[in-house]
Amino acid sequence: QVQLVESGGGLVQAGGSLRLSCAASGRTFSSFAMGWFRQAPGKEREFVAGFSRSGSITRYKESVKGRFTISRDNAKNTVYLQMNSLKSEDTAVYYCAADMLPVLQIVPHYWGQGTQVTVSS
Q: For the chain, how many residues are written?
A: 121
d(CA 120, CA 80): 22
- In angstroms, the CA 82 to CA 84 distance is 7
Percent of the chain residues topping a pLDDT of 90:
80
How high is the pLDDT of residue 106? Answer: 86
Q: Which residues contact 100 (CB under 8 A, 6 or more apart)?
A: 31, 32, 33, 109
**42: left (phi > 0), else alpha (psi -120 to 50), else beta?**
left
Asked whether the predicted pLDDT for residue 105 surpasses 90, the reply is no
31-to-41, 97, 116 alpha-carbon distances in Å: 32, 13, 27
Residue 111: the pLDDT is 96
Cβ-count burial 99-108 (b if 16+ within 10 Å, e if not) = beeeebeeeb
Tell me the pLDDT tens digit for each residue of 27-78.
777 789 999 999 999 999 999 999 999 888 999 999 999 999 999 998 899 9
